[in-house]
Structure 1
Amino acid sequence: MGDPKRPRKQYSTPIRPWDRARMEKESHLINHYGLRSKKEVWKTETILRDFRRKARRLMAASGDQAVKEAQQMIVKLQKLGLLEEGSTLVDVLNLDIENVLDRRLQSIVYDKGLARTPKQARQLVVHGHIMVGDRCVTIPSYLTSIEEEAKVDLHPSAPFEKIEREEETPITPEPVEVGEEE
């Protein structure tokens, strides 16, 4: 039994810690979603792994209780925006980590244009500048439901305004002509 004063670890580390392909994928996810560390990737993978494990268990089970639990799980994932209407347990097994990372509050703030970068979105959330409805949420990994997504906005006392982001276009340097100097 663990120490009651210490919280349990919320993730499991990779089996092969030095797998190059996994490390590159994790680095890409950290940069793209503005995550703080690989620990956040592992926590998200654990959440996804739990969804899949429960779906496999429910697919193998039979009876009224299994059908009821399966329907409850599908409704929960639809409210979170991870599944479409009319999905089945097989669709739960097709979810990937990007689906879950897109539903984080940090990603929603960035997608709504409240921040210039994913890292700035994280900072706004952590510093209490983001409201979900009438609550101030300071957890960047908070999974935002479809209903709550429309209610995400800047705190009224936040010293920021909504940012109009332009489509990112690559900057090309102007050609320099090499010629005779006089």
Structure 2
Amino acid sequence: MITGSIASRSAGNQHFGFAFWSSQELYSKKLFALLICVVLFREVDCESSKTYKVPRRPFEAARLDQEMKLIGEYGLRNKREIWRIGYTLSNIRRAARELLTLDEKDPRRLFEGNALIRRLVRIGVLDEDKMKLDYVLALKIEDFLERRLQTQVFKLGLAKSIHHARVLIRQRHIRVGKQVVDIPSFVVRLDSQKHIDFSLTSPYGGGRAGRVKRKRAASAAGGAEEEEDDE
């Protein structure tokens, strides 16, 4: 009986590809493999989900002054918005530098370089007369900040200040085309820039008046009726 059970277990293990392994050995090996998968998944997930990189020197005076200037000029919420753009810009520069090391007639440089340049021109970061990889290396954080929806709303005269533009966007008063956009960091393309306007449901765009304005109008109408009754 014992010999038969061992033989049947070994046959079953061979069927599943684990020949001559006991149940404890199988459990330990499966657990070890599961731990390896979890660790690898966490490493890959952390790398793919990274959106910004913290500066190595947190108390660098020149960088701190520059960041505070950008926050005030473009109405940013915090420094992470600057770091996020800086991280994206560093990846773009890295790709451009890698392509510049290749030959000018290399198929990869022609294909990936043209795709990168066309994308930057489409969002208005790069001018059409500077469609070369050398000009990509000269891009700055300010070039991307200029294409934010918050900046465009202020420059189009729809808001009184850069901070007012952020409030209008967050309160869903701004649309791009037919779509209402409530993200101040939304990157506006060149072909969408002329379609920025107030939302059709917004009081600024001819929609229903706000609660305070309706209340004041009702009180004013009630006061006028009382004056007519007194007369």
TM-score normalised by the chain length of structure 1: 0.82
Aligned residue for 1:46, secondary structure, equals: helix
Letter in 2 for 1:57: E
Structure 1 residue 40, shift from structure 2 partner = 0.6
Q: How many aligned residue pairs are there?
A: 160
Alignment correspondent of 1:101:
145
Structure 1 residue 85, shift from structure 2 partner = 1.3
Structure 1 residue 127, shift from structure 2 partner = 1.6
Alignment correspondent of 2:53:
12
Q: Deviations over 1:46-102 (max 9, x none)?
A: 121121111111111342122111011111111111111132001011111111100
Structural mapping, 1:92-171, within 5 Å? 92-160=136-204
Letter in 2 for 1:26: E
Alignment correspondent of 1:164:
none
Alignment correspondent of 2:111:
68
Corresponding residue to 2:89 among 48, 53, 58: 48
Q: Deviations over 1:113-163 (max 9, x none)?
A: 1111111111111221111111111111111110011111110121226xx
Q: Deviations over 1:20-49 (max 9, x none)?
A: 110011001000000000111111111211
Write the distance in 2 (CA, Å) between the matches of 1:95 and 1:124.
29
Q: What is the Cα-based RMSD across aligned positions, in Å?
A: 1.8
Structure 2 residues not aligned, in runs of 5+: 1-40, 206-231
Alignment correspondent of 1:59:
100
Write the distance in 2 (CA, Å) between the matches of 1:9 and 1:96.
21
Larger Rg computed on CA atoms: 2
**Which contiguous aligned blocks of 4+ residues in structure 1 show a shift greater than 4 angstroms?**
none
Write the distance in 1 (CA, Å) between the matches of 2:175 and 2:203.
14
Structure 1 residues not aligned, in runs of 5+: 162-182
Write the distance in 1 (CA, Å) between the matches of 2:164 and 2:77.
12
Q: Which has the higher helix share?
A: 2
Write the distance in 2 (CA, Å) between the matches of 1:158 and 1:85.
36
1:90 maps to 2:134: yes
Q: 1:124 to 1:2 in 2, by over 3 A?
A: farther
Amino-acid identity (%): 36
Write the distance in 2 (CA, Å) between the matches of 1:8 and 1:123.
28
Letter in 1 for 2:42: G
Letter in 1 for 2:129: G
Alignment correspondent of 1:176:
none
Letter in 2 for 1:146: L
Write the distance in 1 (CA, Å) between the matches of 2:90 and 2:57.
17
TM-score normalised by the chain length of structure 2: 0.66
